[in-house]
Chains A and B, each alone.
Chain A
């Protein structure tokens, strides 16, 4: 099993550009989520999904969109990148009844200039 796979590992954007961070898991997890990690602020939840076709907002959803068309994939879209979105992004998944036992991807380091 590959676990949780994120692409790309690094990305540089210009302000106003759009892009999609990809996340896939092969553990048949119902629950998937996106976090951003900033120095001194821990991990903050952006969006999450408890199954295909179901998504909901986390703590910091503004500027990000998600969709969940399959159990395996949970892409994160930045519609118009801003410097404040410079961060490290982690995708994480778990079984629905064990949401606190998260499996994280390797992360995407995003810089917005």
Chain B
């Protein structure tokens, strides 16, 4: 089955700096790569996703990039703000399969 590795496990940045979270996956059939944000004590929520036919996608201060050859994808947050502090999960899903495999999460702390 699919295996998703996520790094780093914790990340501290100063407010206004950029943050980058990286993930690798094992199944070359994976075509869908969502990212979820989980604030403390809350439920995970989808913030952005990318499909395999796209190399990069942006939504305001967040962007995701995908390198299918290397089987890795990344989340980039620019101009970080304290409300960006949360745990971020990457995930992958092979096309035609109904299982979403998550990474182990990155705890991002934005220091004011």
Cα–Cα, bound, A62→B89 (Å): 24
Residues from chain A with a CB closer than 8 A to the CB of B33 are 100
B49 touches A42 (CB 8 A): no
Chain B 23-62: CB-based contact to A (< 8 A → 1; otherwise 0): 0000000001110100000111110010000000000000
The answer to whether residues A44 and B102 also contact, given A90-B43, A100-B34, A107-B43 and a CB cut-off of 8 A, is: yes
CB distance from B11 to the nearest CB of A (A): 15
Contact B46 A101 (CB under 8 A): yes
* B91 lies within 8 A of A99 (CB): no
Whether the pair A45, B101 counts as a contact (CB closer than 8 A) is yes
Given contacts A41-B104, A101-B34, contact A56 B43 (CB under 8 A): no
B contact face: mostly helix, strand, loop, or mixed: strand
Does A23 belong to the interface (CB within 8 Å)?
no
> 17 A-B Cβ contacts within 8 A?
A40-B9, A40-B104, A40-B105, A42-B102, A45-B101, A58-B99, A90-B43, A96-B98, A100-B91, A100-B100, A101-B34, A101-B46, A102-B44, A102-B100, A104-B43, A104-B44, A106-B42
Residues of A within 8 A of B (CB): 31, 33, 35, 40-45, 48, 50, 56, 58-59, 90, 96, 99-107
B residues neighboring A (CB under 8 Å): 1, 6, 9, 32-34, 36, 42-46, 49, 89, 91, 93, 98-105
